[in-house]
Amino acid sequence: MLGAYVPLIVMILIGVIFGVSNIVLAEWLGPRRSTRAKLSTYESGMEPVKSARERFTVKFYLVAMMFILFDIEIIFMYPWAVQFRELGMYGFTAMILFMVLLFAGYLYVVKKGALKWD
């Protein structure tokens, strides 16, 4: 039964060989003439001046999370909208309930001032 996996294994092998060989070939064939400009972080770009570890304000995360939440809501609504007639009243109630739940949460977030920027 392992025969079913043969194409898969061949595929994996090809992938591995391709990746490894490319790196090895580049290392082997390419000439190495390093200059200061070539070694900098962004070649012919910005000059790096300070640590890259910077703290963002937590509000970015909040907005991001809210965004994902409503994003998912929309994703849920597409298939529902397509099958709207077939799902009928049951589907409608379920979706309304879902949106009420989401809206209650949204209300909470707004009321607690999580979206106030300053």
Partner 1 sequence: MNFDILGSLPLIVIWLALGVVGIIIQAFVRSDSTRLVYGYYIGTLVTTGLLAAATISNQGTAFGGMVTLGGWAAVFDLLFCGAGVMAMLAAQAYLGRFNSELDEFYTMLVSSVAGMMLMAHARNLVVLFVGIELMSISFYIMAGFFRSRDKSLESAMKYFLLGAFATGFLVYGMALLYGATGTLDYSVMLKVIAAGTARFPVLLALGAVLLTIGLSFKIAAFPFHQWAPDVYEGAPTVVTAFMSTAGKAAAFSAFLAVFGVIMPMVKVASMTPTLQLVLAVISAATMLIGNITAVAQTNVKRMLAYSSVAHAGYMLMGIVAGTTFGQSAVVYYAFAYTFMQLGAFIIVGLLEREDETSLMISDYSGLYRKHGVFAAMMAVFMFSLAGIPPFAGFFGKYMLFYAAIESGFTWLTIVAVASSVISVWFYLGLIVKMYFSEPNPETHEANAGLAGISLAVCTVAVILLGIMPRIITGMLGN
Interface residues with partner 1 (CB under 8 A) are: 90, 100-101, 104-105, 107-108, 110-112
Closest to partner 1 by CB, 25 vs 94, is 94
Other C-beta atoms lying within 10 Å of the C-beta of residue 102: 15
- Per-residue three-class SS string for 2-66: HHHHHHHHHHHHHHHHHHHHHHHHHHHHCCCCCCHHHHCCCCCCCCCCCCCCCCCCHHHHHHHHH
Question: In angstroms, what is the minimal distance from the CB of 118 to partner 1?
Answer: 19
The length of the chain, given as a count of residues: 118
Question: In angstroms, what is the minimal distance from the CB of 72 to partner 1?
Answer: 13
Closest to partner 1 by CB, 40 vs 83, is 83
Closest to partner 1 by CB, 26 vs 75, is 75
Question: In angstroms, what is the minimal distance from the CB of 12 to partner 1?
Answer: 17
